[in-house]
């Protein structure tokens, strides 16, 4: 019974959420797009000509936003390259290269390398989150694992001047994640965008400029 009430409350909040309504109106697949937009507006992360990788990109709203920021090429198309990676399939997005699979696997990395053609990446973004259990220690370990994957990916693929944006949660294990970012990046900025729900402990970590580029 309590679960039904919880679901009804969530549905009510979701349907009346201004960001949900705005996303529907503007053709974005998820309200999460406004978290990225707010961070990008402040930090100027996405610019024409860049190579951008979206880790865990389903359902695709972040890739849609990046695509719109790079649009404007004569005759259509975009100035730059966007690659989305996810275990789940997504509906195609114009001008976005989508690779389905685990980015730790060689076959997926080979597909990525084929798109990048030897180029390093300007911006890696990840809105990935694990399935949370409600057990703080377990969830902290799951979040840390996903952030570690993004950090390893960034270390391997980012330009020295590049940036990484990941989702994590302010709670158990958060200070260790910030420390890991500080070991890898010269500038580290935590972000809590307005579009992130008040009840959520979600926070985004932004790292800029690699300390020890490969």
In a domain? residue 16: no
Binding residues are: 60, 62, 86, 102, 127
What is the domain range of residue 72? 31-210
In a domain? residue 14: no
C-alpha to C-alpha distance for 172 and 213, rounded to whole angstroms: 29
Q: Which residues does residue 169 pair with via DSSP β-bridges, in sequence order?
A: 202
Orientation of helix 18-26 relative to helix 33-43, angle to 10°: 90
In a domain? residue 17: no
Residue 28: name the closest of 91, 86, 120, 85 by CA. Answer: 91
CATH number of the domain at 41, please.
3.40.50.150
In a domain? residue 6: no
C-alpha to C-alpha distance for 189 and 204, rounded to whole angstroms: 8
For 112, the 3-state DSSP assignment is helix
In a domain? residue 15: no
C-alpha to C-alpha distance for 153 and 27, rounded to whole angstroms: 30
In a domain? residue 5: no
3-state SS of 138-206?
A: HHHHHHHHHHHHHHHHHHHHEEEEEEEEEEEECCCCHHHHHHHHHHHEEEEEEECCCCCCCCCCEEEEE
Tally of structural domains, the chain: 1
Which residues are the active-site residues?
Answer: 167
In this structure, what are the phi and psi dihedrals at residue 104, rounded to the nearest 5 degrees?
A: -85, -15
In a domain? residue 69: yes
pTM of the model: 0.91
Binding residues for S-adenosyl-L-methionine are: 60, 62, 86, 102, 127
In a domain? residue 4: no
Query: Could you say which residues of the chain have pLDDT below 70?
Result: 1-15
144-181 confidence digits (pLDDT tens): 999 999 999 999 999 999 999 999 999 889 999 999 99
Query: Is the four-CA dihedral 92, 98, 99, 100 of positive or negative sign?
Result: negative
C-alpha to C-alpha distance for 210 and 214, rounded to whole angstroms: 9
For 93, the 3-state DSSP assignment is coil
């Amino acid at each position: 019974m309590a679960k039904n009430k919880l679901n009804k409350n969530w549905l009510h909040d979701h349907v009346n959420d201004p960001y949900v309504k705005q996303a529907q109106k503007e053709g974005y697949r998820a309200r999460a797009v406004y978290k990225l937009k707010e961070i990008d507006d402040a930090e100027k992360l996405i610019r024409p000509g860049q190579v951008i990788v979206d880790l865990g990109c389903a359902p695709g709203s972040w890739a849609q936003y990046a695509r719109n920021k790079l649009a404007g090429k004569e005759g259509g198309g975009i100035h730059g390259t966007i690659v989305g990676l996810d275990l789940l399939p997504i509906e195609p997005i114009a001008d976005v290269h989508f690779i389905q699979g685990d980015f730790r696997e060689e076959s997926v990395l080979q597909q990525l390398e084929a798109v990048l053609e030897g180029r390093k990446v300007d911006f890696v973004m990840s809105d990935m989150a694990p399935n949370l259990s409600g057990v703080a220690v377990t969830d902290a370990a799951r979040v840390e694992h996903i952030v570690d994957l993004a950090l390893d990916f960034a270390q391997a693929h980012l330009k020295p001047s590049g940036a990484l944006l990941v989702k994590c949660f302010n709670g158990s294990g958060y200070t260790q994640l910030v420390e890991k970012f500080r070991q890898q990046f010269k500038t580290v900025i935590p972000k809590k965008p307005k579009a992130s729900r008040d009840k959520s402990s979600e926070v985004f970590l932004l790292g800029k400029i690699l300390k020890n580029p490969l």
